[in-house]
Each structure stands twice: as C-alpha cells, then as structure tokens.
Amino acid sequence: MEVPFIDIGAQYKTIKSEIDQAIQQVLEGGQVIGGEEVHDFEKKFAEKSQVKHCISMANGTDALWIALKALGIGKGDEVITTALSWISSASTILQAGATPVFVDIDISTGLIDTDLIEDKITNKTKAIIPVHLHGQMVDMIDIRNLCDRHKLYCIEDSAQAHFASFRDVMPSQMSDMATFSFYPTKNLGAYGDAGCIVTNDYKLEKQCRALTNYGNRGEDKQLGINSRMDSIQAAILNVKMKYVEGWIEQKRSIADRYDRLLIGVQEITTPSAKTEIGHTYYTYPVRCKNRNKLKEHLIQHGVQTTIHYSWILPLLPLFKDLNNKEEDFPVAYRYQNESLCLPIFPELAEHQQDYVVSCIKDFYN
C-alpha cells in the first residue's frame, strides 16, 4: 500500500467543479490581480479569524517581513523567536536588518518555551515572534504578559495555525499582528503561493498595505515591495474557506485516532495537545526511538513521513555570525532528532491509517 504524506489532488477532486468554475470566472472577468476576488477573500478571512483587517499578499514569508517593517523594526533591534521553525520565522528578521535571538522549546509541544524568554530580553529587544507550530498555539497569555511588562511588540507567525485558538482566543487577538501562509500544503492552501497579515490596528493595516504596494509607489519615503495575492489564488481560497473548518475537524479525528492506535507503543510519544488549545493539526508529529531507521522502514513500506524540521534554526549557516551554540538549545536539538510527522490529511482513509500504525508496530517488534 502507498500512503502519501498529503494528497492535494485528492482534495481537489472533492471540490473540482467549484474550483474550476471560480478560476474560469476570474479569467473571463479579465482582472487577474486584485479586484473583487481578493477583496472578498480579505473580508471573509478577517471575519473567520475574528479580526478587523486582513491584508492579502504574495506569501507568508513576505508577510513576516512586512509585519516587522510596519512596526519600524530594523538595524540595531533584536527580535526573539523560537529555535524550531521554518526558516522564514527567523530569516525575515535578518532581512529586516534586525538580529534574531533564539529561545529553546518545550519538549512536549515543540513550541517556544515561554519560561525561557525573559532571560533573553535586553534593552535592544523590540518584538517577540511566537510560532504556532504544527497547528497548536503558543500560550498567548504568557506572551502578552511578557510584551506588556517589557513594552514589546508581538507578531504571531500563524502560517501553520489558520483558525486555531488558545482558550478561545485566535491569532492576532492578543498581539499586534498575525501572519499567515496559504502555501498549498497548509490547512488552508492555495494552488500556488499566497499569504496575509491580520490585525485590529487601523494604522498598521495602512502601513502593511503600503509596504505590499511598492511603498505607495514613491509617494512617500517608504521603501516597499510588490507582494500581491493574485485573483485566481483568492478565488480558490474563497471556495476552500467554505470547507476548511470541516477539513480541520477531520484532521482532529484522525489525530485522535492516531493517539488511540498508538497507545501501548512504548517507543512512540504522541503529541500532547492541551484541552484548552484548539489544535488544528497542520501536522501530527510523534517523538520516537530510532527515528531515522523508522522513517527508512516506513519509506520501504510505502509510507511517506516528514521531519519538521531536520535542523534547528540557531545553528543554520545563515546565523553563523551570531555564534549560537548547540548546548544552549538542548531541547530543540533533542526534538529535532526524535520527531517525525505522520501522514495526516482530511482524505486519509482509516485503512491507510491502520496500515501506517501497523508498519510502526512491525518496526519496533
């Protein structure tokens, strides 16, 4: 049996006629950048995220850079983020001209360890970027308290956490801004690149919009970029937004089922999802003994898995000048060697999931 990690084609088949029609409408209408579709998208996404403003853009990496620039963060500033994430969470800090300061993670969630943040705050610290990795939100009460105590900005990297919540609070509701990616594999994915920022702050909204639009085309001194969402991606996202909550529910059931099926497999630790957290299971990462050998065994049996991530950010060559040391990030280092993301997508069938689990059990027996 073959079990892919994710099956974008399978999902397309379930909504094919609506998607095809939406794309055709854009092409026939002739407005392929901006316009009604993009406007609709911003309105719907803001509504669903329970926030006032949504600014669409080309991808989730631009969204982080634009959020930093909108807050005026640059040379001489420090920005705190997690040791374990996708490269963009930290590379955009460098791109903005500031210095990323990394914090180790919590082994049970893979998220930034909020107890370790305060030690890293200096008089140069301007902001914290918590990353809601795997679809699970960081404790935003802890983050809010730290930001209030030290007068820091907060940008939530929510690229993996569309419609996630923490004690009923969604990304951006306890921070200055939240950034999203609609990369095709994300829980809400376009069929190409797309991203956005959401915020309740009117001034930040204006600022972000200008930054996506050539910095207002030279009408002020601002240095901007061209980062737009095209109308076809917006039309696709508008269709998908009708289904995304259902898909997230399906992923939650699959995650629950993995939790149950893997009870008793001593070599595997399933992800801990605290009940007050509205986990959306972008991924389902387990920690396991002999991770690399298990991954190899699964490949040989047709099961695709991925590692999120096979590096820790502080030790990447890109950040070499910061002289980060492995011993300062022992938990992230351990997590990176033990974690493995199992196949999870709404269309994953029970018999496929049973097969994944039986391959894991075979490996350890």
Ligand X SMILES: *Cc1c(COP(=O)(O)O)cnc(C)c1O
Q: Which positions touch ligand X (CB under 6 A)?
A: 59-61, 85-86, 88-89, 131, 157, 159-160, 181, 183, 193, 195
Smallest distance from ligand X to CB 34, Å: 19
Nearer to ligand X, 91 or 165 (CB): 91
Question: Cα–Cα distances in Å, from 289 out to 35, 81, 246, 267, 341?
Answer: 51, 28, 33, 5, 14
Closest approach of ligand X to the CB of residue 117, in Å:
18
Name the residue nearer to ligand X (CB basis): 134 or 353. 134
**Which residue's C-beta sits nearest to ligand X?**
60
Instruction: Annotate 219-246 with DSSP letters as a single string.
Output: TSS----B---BHHHHHHHHHHTTTHHH
Name the residue nearer to ligand X (CB basis): 114 or 181.
181
Give me the least distance between CB of 61 and ligand X, in Å please: 3
Of the two residues 77 and 193, which places its CB atom closer to ligand X in the complex? 193
The nearer residue to ligand X, 131 or 198, going by C-beta atoms, is 131
DSSP states of 149-181: HHT-EEEEE-TT-TT-EETTBPTTTTSSEEEEE
Cβ at position 276, least distance to ligand X in Å: 22
Cβ 220 to ligand X, closest distance in Å? Answer: 27
3-state DSSP assignment of residue 99: strand
Residue closer to ligand X (CB basis): 237 or 359: 237
* Strand boundaries in 67-130, DSSP class E: 78-82, 99-103, 125-129
CA dist 301 and 293 (Å) reads 12
- In 37-189, where do the E strands start and end? 53-57, 78-82, 99-103, 125-129, 153-157, 165-166, 177-181
| Between 234 and 261, CB nearer to ligand X | 234
Q: Is residue 51 packed enough to be buried (19+ CB in 10 Å), middle (13-18) or exposed (0-12)?
A: buried
Minimum CB separation of residue 182 from ligand X in Å reads: 7
The residue (of 100 and 261) whose beta carbon lies closer to ligand X is 100
C-alpha–C-alpha distance, residues 314 and 102, integer Å:
6
Distance CA 283, CA 136 (A): 9
CB of 42 to ligand X, least distance (A): 17
Assigned token pair, 252:
């939650």
Look at the block and give the residue holding tokens 């898995």: 305
From the CB of 320, what's the least distance to ligand X, in Å? 21
